[in-house]
Structure 1
Amino acid sequence: MRRLPPLKALQAFEATARHESVTQAALELNVSHSAISQHIKVLEHHFNQKLFKKKGNGLELMPKARNYLEDVRQSLDLIAVASENLLSSGVLNRVRVNATPTFTTQWLIPRVASFQRAFPNVEIRLETSTTDELRNEIETNDLVIRRFPMQNARMVCMRIVDDETIAVASPRLVQGKPIDQPSDLLNYNLLHIRSRISAWPNWFRKAGIEGSQTLKGQVFDHIHLSLAAARNGAGICLAPRAFVEEELQDQKLVNLCPSNVLIGAGFFGLYDKQNRSVRNVERLLDWLTQQQPSLTPKDKDIDWQAI
C-alpha cells in the first residue's frame, strides 16, 4: 500500500512554495489562511521536519523541501493531465493519435498543424510510443499509426503513406567526393539503428552487393538520433523518404543513390469504425493522404516488423 500524504496538503504546500506566501496560496485555492497553515502543519508532522522558514514578510523553503517540491509539482501536473484526458475521452471533436516519435516529429506534426488551421474546431492530441505494442494504444487512442499493416477484427487499417527507405547524408560530408555507385558508400561511416540493424545489409543486397565485411559506423537507439547525426555530417543514414522530404528539398540532406530504394509495406493507421469520433478520424486521414498520390501497393523488399 502506498504511504501518501493527503492530496490537499500537497496542493497547499505547492501553492505556498510557489507564492512564498500562505495568504496568496489561500487566495489561489479559495480556502482560508488557517486552512493552508493547517495543511502545512500536517505535512511537517508527516515528515517530522520543518518545510518552510520565515523570510521577511514571506516564507522560504528549507533545502530538502525544495527538492521535494519539484517532484510534487511534476506529480500534480501529471495528475492534472491524466484527469483531463479521462474527462475528455468521450469528446466528439477531439482525436487522440498514437504514433512513433520520429514519424510524429518528421511527418505528422506539420500535417496536423495545417489540419488544425483548416479545422480549428477539431482538436488533435498526439501521443508517442517507442514500441510496436498495440493493445494499450488501441484502447486509449482513436487512431494508431505504425510502419506495418495492423490486424484487428473490429477495426479498419488504412495505408497512409509510402515507405521508401533511402540513403541520405549532409551535402558537406560528400562534397568533392561524388557517389557514383552504391558500393561507394562503404567508404563512409554508416549510421545504424539498433532496432533495424539489418537495414544496411538489406539495402546493399538490394543494390546487388553481397559483402561479408563489417559495416562500420555508430549504432543509435532511435532513427531520429541517426538523422540528427547525418545532418551534422557524422555519416550516412537510412531513412524513409517521407521523413526527409523537406530536408531534401532544402538541400540540408541529399539522396545519395536515388536508384536504390528499399520498399516497405507503408505506414498505416488503425481505427474503430464504431468510435464516437470516427467522423473526425476519417477527416484527418483524408487530410493526411490527400497529398500522397503514389499510394499504390508496390512489391516490398522488407518487412520492418520482422527485423
Structure 2
Amino acid sequence: MAKRNLPPLNALRMFEAVARNNSFSLAADELYVTHSAVSHQIKQLEAWMGKKLLNRHSHGTSLTSDGQQLFTTCIQLFNTLENCVDKIKKQSESMMLTIGAPSSFMANWLIPRLEKFEEKYPEVSIKLMTCNDLKMLEKNQVDCLIMSHTQQETIPKNITSIPLLEDRIGPVCTSNRAKELQQPQDVLKHHLLHTQSNQNAWAMWTKQYGLNIENAKHQRHFDHLNLMIEAAASGLGIAIAPEILVEKELLNQRLVAPFGFIHCGSFFSLLIKNDDLNHHSIKTLVQWFIHEIQPQT
C-alpha cells in the first residue's frame, strides 16, 4: 500500500480551529495550547502546502481561496471522524447506564429492587446519581431521569416521558397512634410531619377532606423524606408521604396508613432522550421498569 501524502495532522487540527474561530487566540484557548504554538503549526502547514492559507488582520483572520478550500474539506472530514468516534464510544459504553433520581425514590423504591435487575441483566451496569434536574439529562450527565411531575408540565420535544407510577400521598404513622385517628380531622390534633421535597403535601391532603392545615396544633419539618419517615416510625407524629416510598415500612408494619392514599395529580415518570430510546440497555431498563410496576399475580 502506497504511503499517504498528508500534511502534519496536528497542524491541520490547529488550522481548522483558527479558521472556525477566526482567531488564533480563541483557537489556542480551545485547544489548551499557547498562541505561539498555534502560530508555529500554521506556519509549518503553510510551508508544507507551499501556499498561504490565512491572512492576519487587526480584528482577526481571514482565509485565502486555498485556505477556504482546505477548511471546507477539514470540516467535512473532522465531522465524519467525530461522529464515528462518538458512535464507537457509545457502543462500547452502551451497557453502562447512569440513572438519575431523587434520593427518596432511589433509597425507598429503586435500590431495594436493584439486586433483582442485576441478577436478571448482569450485562448491564447501573450507576445511580441523585438528581432531580432535567438539564442533567439534556447535557448527557445521566442516561435517564426519574422524576415526579404533573401532566400539565411541559417536557421538551426531544425527550420521551414514560409514566411509571401515580404519585399517591397519605398520612402514615405507628399503629398505636392510628388507634387515635377515627376521622380525617383527628390528624390535626397531632404533630404533623413535613418534608422539604413536598411542602404542600399536607395542605393538599387536608383540602381533599375539607380541612385547613392552619388548624393543626403542632407541625415539624424535615430536610429529607427519609428523616420524616423515621420520625413517624419513632412515634414523633404523623407523616405525609408518597405511597410507593413507604411501601417497605407498610409491609413490615413499622407504619400504617389509616386513611389510605389519594392521587395528588403527579406521576413518577422515566425520562429518556429520543435519540437513546433504541439503545439496547435503555430498552432493557424500560422493560424491567414496566415489569416491576405491573401488579404481580
Do residues 135 (structure 1) and 156 (structure 2) align?
no
1:215-294 matches, within 5 Å, as 216-258=218-260, 261-275=262-276, 278-293=279-294
Aligned-pair Cα RMSD in Å = 2.3
- Cα 1:190–1:212 change in 2 (3 A) is closer
Counterpart residue number, 1:112: 114
How many residue pairs are counted as aligned between the two chains?
203
Counterpart residue number, 2:68: none
Is 2:104–2:226's contact at 8 Å kept on the other side of the alignment?
yes
Identity across the alignment (%): 27
Whole-angstrom CA distance in 2 between matches of 1:232 and 1:89: 49
Whole-angstrom CA distance in 2 between matches of 1:210 and 1:224: 26
Match of 1:168 among 158, 169, 172: 172
Q: Which protein shows a greater Rg?
A: 2
1:43-62 matches, within 5 Å, as none
Shift of 1:171: 2.0
Q: Secondary structure at 1:290's aligned position in 2? A: helix
Shift of 1:173: 3.4
- Cα 1:117–1:291 change in 2 (3 A) is same
- Cα 1:211–1:113 change in 2 (3 A) is closer
Whole-angstrom CA distance in 1 between matches of 2:270 and 2:282: 10
Question: 2:167 is aligned with what amino acid?
Answer: D
TM-score by length of 2: 0.62
- Cα 1:116–1:279 change in 2 (3 A) is same
Shift of 1:208: 1.8
Q: Deviations over 1:24-47 (max 9, x none)?
A: xxxxxxxxxxxxxxxxxxxxxxxx
Structure 2 runs not aligned, ≥5 long = 1-88
Counterpart residue number, 1:43: none
Shift of 1:215: 5.0
Whole-angstrom CA distance in 2 between matches of 1:118 and 1:240: 28
Q: Secondary structure at 1:255's aligned position in 2? A: coil
Q: Secondary structure at 2:145's aligned position in 1? A: strand
Shift of 1:276: 8.4
Whole-angstrom CA distance in 1 between matches of 2:143 and 2:159: 11
Q: Secondary structure at 2:246's aligned position in 1? A: helix
Q: Secondary structure at 1:135's aligned position in 2? A: helix
Question: 2:183 is aligned with what amino acid?
Answer: Q
Whole-angstrom CA distance in 1 between matches of 2:156 and 2:213: 40
Question: 2:130 is aligned with what amino acid?
Answer: T
Moved over 4 A (4+): 87-90
Counterpart residue number, 1:202: 204
Q: Deviations over 1:232-286 (max 9, x none)?
A: 111111111111122212211100212x524332101111232387321221122
Question: 1:154 is aligned with what amino acid?
Answer: N
Q: Deviations over 1:90-117 (max 9, x none)?
A: 6011111000000000001122221111
Q: Secondary structure at 2:249's aligned position in 1? A: helix
Do residues 182 (structure 1) and 174 (structure 2) align?
no
TM-score by length of 1: 0.61
Counterpart residue number, 2:95: 93
Do residues 152 (structure 1) and 156 (structure 2) align?
yes
Question: 1:257 is aligned with what amino acid?
Answer: F
Whole-angstrom CA distance in 2 between matches of 1:242 and 1:273: 27
Larger deviation: 132-141 or 158-167? 132-141
Q: Secondary structure at 1:115's aligned position in 2? A: helix
Structure 1 runs not aligned, ≥5 long = 1-86, 295-307
Shift of 1:194: 2.8
Whole-angstrom CA distance in 2 between matches of 1:266 and 1:215: 31
Question: 1:221 is aligned with what amino acid?
Answer: D
Whole-angstrom CA distance in 1 between matches of 2:125 and 2:265: 31
Shift of 1:212: 4.1
